[in-house]
């Protein structure tokens, strides 16, 4: 079993560069299915969710080459529209293949997606919108067989600014004849990034103020794109720095993407210095509490940054209040965080974090990706050596996390139990033989 062993107490310092955004990479890789040519995608993070997406692309008939953080996908020969259940269940974003396969081939046979258990995460908005645009669905348990019967282009009004539904509608509509408009579309920076990628291949997707206009084109051509830096990773580093009274520089930030989180770090007493795309964060010895944080769609405070922030606030002076409005099950990690001696009470979608002076080490289990990041932040701040299990969740969204945190003066190791046992028995044999 793999786990992280973290000896807490070191203040983070040094410089770290962000990798590409997971939530951009996944839809952009999925969009490559629409292109009858070569897509060169730079700054693609090496994450388990990205690897799973590349496997799906290969299974559909795409050729995939990787050269460092550059991925080259050629979807000229895509001819399969089927994705097996186990691939679909590995991550939530697999549902985006629905839009791209329907757009490219007019047919998609797949299953309901999986993903982190942070809520019921239905896909009703995806399906309703695609039906309005002419897609037909046959459901059989978790199996979905979909075709495009009578393609339409119209205004789609989303009841909630869902990121995934917005992306699926875009992917579906890029190659349809006519103009589709999404009203109340998600405004997350990753939507603009998806549009930029599609436009680099000759598409016409215009994102503006909560509306997305997709002017259908006959075909997309080869294109090249660089994925935006990961704003959630940036906020995770900021929380870890805040929790350890650190002083770090985060390189390659996009300030506008992080604007929703900056005020809360200021409120906690952190000093932020922006110099072009470099952000320096200097944390005080002890953080101040934040009065109230409410997670909201962009440009609100991101739900994905909530858990690491909560972890930082566990040792702040006073009581902080966090309201989660996006996912109903996003405090599952809290009982694990409390094992470090944190004092967090959950009342429905509210977390009250009563700051304690010092966290103590514990052995804990990640419950989901960002909840896992909260446990990392907790362990970095805690006295003593902690173990974090279920790190497969963390690997979905953080590339070689132990390396980047080690570079920031953290004492963190990825341990493979089996290898450790082997090493120990070899050492024992050597002792006996000598």
Q: Which residues are catalytic?
A: 116
The enclosing H or E element of 381 equals: helix 369-381
Contact between 163 and ligand UD1 (CB under 6 A)?
A: yes
Q: Of 237 and 327, which has the nearer Cβ to ligand UD1?
A: 327
Contact between 121 and ligand UD1 (CB under 6 A)?
A: yes
The enclosing H or E element of 281 equals: strand 278-282
Contact between 171 and ligand UD1 (CB under 6 A)?
A: no
CB 69 within 8 A of CB 46: yes
In this chain, which residue has its C-beta nearest to ligand UD1? 164
Contact between 162 and ligand UD1 (CB under 6 A)?
A: yes
Distances (CA, A) of 281 to 240, 262, 275, 288: 11, 10, 11, 15
Q: Of 197 and 327, which has the nearer Cβ to ligand UD1?
A: 327
Contact between 160 and ligand UD1 (CB under 6 A)?
A: yes
Q: How many CB atoms lie within 10 A of CB 165?
A: 27
Q: Smallest gap, in angstroms, from Cβ of residue 27 to ligand UD1?
A: 7
Q: Which of 35, 40, 77 is nearest to 60 (CA)?
A: 77
Q: Smallest gap, in angstroms, from Cβ of residue 216 to ligand UD1?
A: 23
Contact between 300 and ligand UD1 (CB under 6 A)?
A: no
Contact between 307 and ligand UD1 (CB under 6 A)?
A: no
Per-residue tokens: 375: 């446990």
Do the strands 13-17 and 411-416 form a parallel or antiparallel pair, or are they unpaired?
Answer: unpaired
**What does the per-residue mask of binding to ligand UD1 show for 52-81, with x meaning CB under 6 A?**
------------------------------
Contact between 83 and ligand UD1 (CB under 6 A)?
A: no
Residue found under tokens 């940054």:
305
Q: Smallest gap, in angstroms, from Cβ of residue 124 to ligand UD1?
A: 5
Residue found under tokens 């239905």:
122
- Site size toward ligand UD1 (CB under 6 A) is 22
Q: Smallest gap, in angstroms, from Cβ of residue 90 to ligand UD1?
A: 12
Q: Smallest gap, in angstroms, from Cβ of residue 328 to ligand UD1?
A: 7
Contact between 193 and ligand UD1 (CB under 6 A)?
A: no
Q: Of 6 and 186, which has the nearer Cβ to ligand UD1?
A: 186
Q: What is the DSSP string of 182-251?
A: EET----HHHHHHHHHHHHTT--EEEETTEEEEE--S-B--EEEEPPB-HHHHHHHHHHHHHTT-EEEEE
Contact between 123 and ligand UD1 (CB under 6 A)?
A: yes
| Cα–Cα distance measured from residue 98 to residue 188, given in angstroms and rounded to the nearest whole number | 21
Contact between 14 and ligand UD1 (CB under 6 A)?
A: no
Among 304, 368, 395, 399, binds ligand UD1 (CB under 6 A): 304
Contact between 119 and ligand UD1 (CB under 6 A)?
A: yes
Contact between 202 and ligand UD1 (CB under 6 A)?
A: no
Q: What are the φ/ψ torsions at residue 429 (nearest 5 degrees)? A: -60, -45
Which one of the spans 119-127, 169-177, 343-351, 407-415 is the region binding ligand UD1 (CB under 6 A)?
119-127
Per-residue tokens: 133: 């645009």
Contact between 156 and ligand UD1 (CB under 6 A)?
A: no
CB 312 within 8 A of CB 243: yes
Contact between 44 and ligand UD1 (CB under 6 A)?
A: no
- What does the buried/exposed string (b/e) look like for 389-398 if buried means 16 or more CB atoms within 10 Å of the residue's CB? bbbebbbbbb
Which one of the spans 36-44, 71-79, 157-165, 193-201 is the region binding ligand UD1 (CB under 6 A)?
157-165
Contact between 339 and ligand UD1 (CB under 6 A)?
A: no
Among 165, 181, 268, 281, binds ligand UD1 (CB under 6 A): 165
| Greatest C-alpha distance within the chain | 79
| Cα–Cα distance measured from residue 232 to residue 304, given in angstroms and rounded to the nearest whole number | 7
- Specify which residues 63 forms β-bridges with: 74
Neighbouring C-alpha atoms within 13 Å toward the C-beta of 212? 34
Q: Smallest gap, in angstroms, from Cβ of residue 26 to ligand UD1?
A: 5
Contact between 126 and ligand UD1 (CB under 6 A)?
A: yes
Q: Which of 79, 47, 86, 48 is nearest to 63 (CA)?
A: 79
Q: Smallest gap, in angstroms, from Cβ of residue 293 to ligand UD1?
A: 15
Interface with ligand UD1 (CB under 6 A): 23, 26, 92-93, 119-126, 160, 162-165, 186, 303-304, 326-327
């Amino acid at each position: 079993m793999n786990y992280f062993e973290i000896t807490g107490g070191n203040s983070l310092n040094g410089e770290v560069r962000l990798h590409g955004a997971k939530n951009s990479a996944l839809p952009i890789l999925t969009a490559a299915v629409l292109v009858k040519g070569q897509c060169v995608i730079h700054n693609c993070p090496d994450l388990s969710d990205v690897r799973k997406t590349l496997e799906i692309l290969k299974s559909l008939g795409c050729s995939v080459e990787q050269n460092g953080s550059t991925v080259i996908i050629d979807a000229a020969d895509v001819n399969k529209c089927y994705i097996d259940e186990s691939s679909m269940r590995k991550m939530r974003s697999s549902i985006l293949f629905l839009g791209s396969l329907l757009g490219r081939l007019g047919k998609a046979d797949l299953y309901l997606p999986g993903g982190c258990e942070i809520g019921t995460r239905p896909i009703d908005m995806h399906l309703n919108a695609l039906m309005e645009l002419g897609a037909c669905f046959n459901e059989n348990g978790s199996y979905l067989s979909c075709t495009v019967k009578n393609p339409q282009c119209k205004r789609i009004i989303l009841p909630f600014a869902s990121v995934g539904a917005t992306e699926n509608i875009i992917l579906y509509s890029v190659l349809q004849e006519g103009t589709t408009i999404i009203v109340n579309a998600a405004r997350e920076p990753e939507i603009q990034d998806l549009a930029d990628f599609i436009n680099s291949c000759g598409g016409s997707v215009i994102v503006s103020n909560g509306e997305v206009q997709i002017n259908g084109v006959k075909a997309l051509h080869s294109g090249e794109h660089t994925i935006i830096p990961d704003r959630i990773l940036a906020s995770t580093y900021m929380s870890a720095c805040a929790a350890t009274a650190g002083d770090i520089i985060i390189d390659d930030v996009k300030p506008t993407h992080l604007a929703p989180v900056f005020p809360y770090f200021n409120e906690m007493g952190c000093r932020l210095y922006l110099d072009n795309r470099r952000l320096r964060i200097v944390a005080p010895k002890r953080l101040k509490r934040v009065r109230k944080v409410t997670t909201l769609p962009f440009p609100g405070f991101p739900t994905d940054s909530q858990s690491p922030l909560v972890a930082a606030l566990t040792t702040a002076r006073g009581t902080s209040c966090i309201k989660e409005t996006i996912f109903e099950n996003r405090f599952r990690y809290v009982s694990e965080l409390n094992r470090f001696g944190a004092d967090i009470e959950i009342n429905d979608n509210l977390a009250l974090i009563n700051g304690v002076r010092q966290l103590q080490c514990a052995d804990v289990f990640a419950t989901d990706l960002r909840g896992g990041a909260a446990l990392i932040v907790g362990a970095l701040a805690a006295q003593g050596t902690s173990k974090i299990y279920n790190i497969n969740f963390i690997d979905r969204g953080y590339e070689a996390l132990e390396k980047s945190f080690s570079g920031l003066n953290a004492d963190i190791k990825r341990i493979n139990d089996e290898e450790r046992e082997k090493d120990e028995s070899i050492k024992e044999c050597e002792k006996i033989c000598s």
